[in-house]
Structure 1
Amino acid sequence: MRALVPTGPETKTVEFGDVPEPEPKPHELVIAVEALSINRGETFLLADPNPGWRPGKDIAGTVVAAAGDGTGPRPGTRVVGHPWYSGWAELAAVPAESVAVLPETVGAESAAVLPLAGITALRLLRRSGLGYGDRALITGASGGVGHYFVELAAAAGVRVTAVTATAERGSRLLELGAEAVVRQAGDAAGQYDAVLESVGAEVFPQALAKLRAGGLLLQFGQASRVAPVLDFFSFFRGPKQARIEHFDYTIGERTYGAELETLVRLVEQGRLHPEIGFTGDWGQAPDAIAALRERAVRGNIALTVK
């Protein structure tokens, strides 16, 4: 079958290749992939891929083979799935507990951009402990996770300030429920119960300085690919008992079906709006990867498999 396989050099990143069809484990079903999405973390792994590794964590399509243990949807069912890898292919094996059934009103492209970014946003909101009336600051807010987090948090009554580079991207975040939009973390007014930081470099200390006493900074990305420098003397002179935590959405529960069901239901009800900033067919994957690396994409990427 055809699949997108790593080429190694950063100039091209992936190309079509012939690979064996998946051999599912008893708890896995097989999906005929109709649409896929690309995440920033995958673009970094493509720079120096491990031997035998193939990318692909966000897919939507139709079940063509049920799980051998009898769990999960039956063949012919439209689903969204979150495999660990190898989803950028005509067929993909996915754990039955990491898929959700799609209603007819939710298209494959809209579904394919839900898994990693949507699950991360849900788990960030849960981990942050934010609730009605709390204040949150999120950097890199115009990325896939940022759009979902802003809309989900605002719906829960959280007062969100979003950091994004352009007025055009900021206007969309305001539509999704952000209370305020700023160009730089240092421009955010007041103090925040939680800061969600995904850029690194000089943005990290700027965002950290915005925490209230006892506040929590969740570091969930490094979009700049530049390590932040933290002056601990300034940190200790700052908000009392503030905390910094590295966030990894895979820590803890490693099945994703329940969260995918939640995300699909919210989309179906018009309460969550996937932001797709790049569409095309999967032959355009190298262009999409380049655009994502250059931070030229607002929201998510959706590519159809033809």
Structure 2
Amino acid sequence: MKAFTATRDAAATVRLTEVPEPQPAPDQALVKVEAYSVNRGETFQLERPPADGWRPGKDIAGLVVQAAPDGSGPPVGTRVVGHPPALGWAEYAAVPTSRLAVLPDELPSVQAAALPLAGLTALRLLRQAGHLAGRRVLLTGASGGVGHYLTELAGAAGARLTAVTASAERGQRLIELGAAEVVHRVADAEGPFDVVLESTGGADLPLALQRLAPRGLLLWFGQASRQPVTLDFFDILTGPTSATIRQFSYADVDEPDGADLATLVRLTAEGRLHPELGTVRDWRETPEVLADLRGRRIRGNAVLTVN
């Protein structure tokens, strides 16, 4: 079968090659991939690929063509969305049944493929944030796939959310999704905020921290700027009283992905969650999409269709 493999060179991109078709483990279903999503974080991973044999691909949607040998999971012919740990940018992928959710007929594969990594991150991040009704929330790096989901979910939960995005056009869409306010720099956000959801790192995190309310919570879930964070103890000491800074990873959960994927599917099918498809292209254009993601030329999710 055909699949994208890492070039493992200075270009840090991928090439379409022939690889063996996967042989599912007892708890894995074989899925014919119809669409997959490419996340900006995966462009970072391609710069330092894991061990030989690794191929990229965490977000897929398609059709089960071989059920799991142990009898778990959906039967042959079922449309699914999946979140394998890797190997998804291919014609076929073997996916643990605990990482699959069934798709209703009304939800296209192109939309479903945009749900897993970004949607799981947003859903689990808001759980960590706790009760949001009536609380003021600051979201940095709001124009990507995670940011759009966070904006819509937080707004639906009753939060008064201020989103930070450099683009006026993207800001308008965030207002439509539920943001109460959009600013173009963290320095322009007027606190105090009960919760800060910080994804850019660099100079933005200290600025966001200064805008926390007493005993506020900052959840640090990314470093899109690629710049390290420097914190001055004395700035914190004179800032918000008893602030909490907590690192967040969407994968650091005890529950399998399937249940949360099913929640994201249900919300989308009900029209309560709207995947933002910044671009939809043929999968042969994956290297170009990677370049556009690195250059921040895509708003929302990038989805590739497998023909």
TM score, norm. by length of structure 2: 0.98
- Structure 1 pair 293–130 and aligned structure 2 pair: CA distance change class (3 A): farther
Corresponding position of 1:19: 19
1:1-306 map, 5 Å: 1-11=1-11, 13-50=13-50, 51-253=52-254, 255-306=256-307
**AA paired with 1:42?**
E
Post-superposition offset of 1:12: 5.9
Alpha-carbon separation, structure 2, partners of 1:223 and 1:252 = 22
Post-superposition offset of 1:9: 2.5
- Residue 222 of structure 2 aligns to a residue whose secondary structure is coil
**AA paired with 2:28?**
E
Is the 1:151–1:272 Cα contact (8 Å) retained in structure 2? yes
Post-superposition offset of 1:22: 1.1
Post-superposition offset of 1:100: 0.8
For residues 222-241 of structure 1, give each alpha carbon's deviation from its aligned partner in whole angstroms, at most 9, with x where no partner exists.
11111121112101221111
For residues 131-159 of structure 1, give each alpha carbon's deviation from its aligned partner in whole angstroms, at most 9, with x where no partner exists.
21011101000111000000011001111
Structure 1: runs of 5 or more not aligned: none
Is the 2:34–2:62 Cα contact (8 Å) retained in structure 1? yes
**AA paired with 1:40?**
R
- Residue 218 of structure 1 aligns to a residue whose secondary structure is strand
Post-superposition offset of 1:254: 5.0
For residues 85-112 of structure 1, give each alpha carbon's deviation from its aligned partner in whole angstroms, at most 9, with x where no partner exists.
0011111011111111111111111000
Alpha-carbon separation, structure 2, partners of 1:291 and 1:192 = 33
Is the 1:10–1:46 Cα contact (8 Å) retained in structure 2? no
- Residue 234 of structure 1 aligns to a residue whose secondary structure is helix
- State the 4+ residue runs in structure 1 displaced beyond 3 angstroms: none
Is the 1:12–1:286 Cα contact (8 Å) retained in structure 2? no
Is the 2:12–2:47 Cα contact (8 Å) retained in structure 1? no
Alpha-carbon separation, structure 1, partners of 2:33 and 2:19 = 15
Post-superposition offset of 1:68: 1.2
Post-superposition offset of 1:45: 0.9
Alpha-carbon separation, structure 1, partners of 2:276 and 2:171 = 13
Alpha-carbon separation, structure 2, partners of 1:134 and 1:12 = 41
Post-superposition offset of 1:10: 4.3
Alpha-carbon separation, structure 2, partners of 1:236 and 1:30 = 54
- Residue 149 of structure 2 aligns to a residue whose secondary structure is helix
Post-superposition offset of 1:253: 2.1
**AA paired with 1:272?**
L
- Residue 126 of structure 1 aligns to a residue whose secondary structure is helix
Is the 2:12–2:46 Cα contact (8 Å) retained in structure 1? no
Alpha-carbon separation, structure 1, partners of 2:255 and 2:279 = 28
TM score, norm. by length of structure 1: 0.98
- Residue 238 of structure 1 aligns to a residue whose secondary structure is coil
Range that drifts further, 10-19 or 49-58: 10-19
- Residue 47 of structure 2 aligns to a residue whose secondary structure is coil
**AA paired with 1:48?**
R
**AA paired with 2:22?**
P
For residues 134-191 of structure 1, give each alpha carbon's deviation from its aligned partner in whole angstroms, at most 9, with x where no partner exists.
1110100011100000001100111111000011000000000000000011111121
Post-superposition offset of 1:48: 2.0
Alpha-carbon separation, structure 2, partners of 1:240 and 1:29 = 50
Is the 1:30–1:93 Cα contact (8 Å) retained in structure 2? yes
Post-superposition offset of 1:206: 1.1
Alpha-carbon separation, structure 2, partners of 1:247 and 1:94 = 25
Is the 2:203–2:229 Cα contact (8 Å) retained in structure 1? yes
Post-superposition offset of 1:130: 3.4
Alpha-carbon separation, structure 2, partners of 1:288 and 1:281 = 10
**AA paired with 1:172?**
R
Alpha-carbon separation, structure 1, partners of 2:126 and 2:4 = 33
- Residue 36 of structure 1 aligns to a residue whose secondary structure is strand
> Cα RMSD over matched residues?
1.0
Count of residues in Structure 1 that have an aligned counterpart in Structure 2: 306
Alpha-carbon separation, structure 2, partners of 1:39 and 1:179 = 26
Alpha-carbon separation, structure 1, partners of 2:189 and 2:233 = 22
Structure 2: runs of 5 or more not aligned: none
Alpha-carbon separation, structure 2, partners of 1:255 and 1:202 = 35
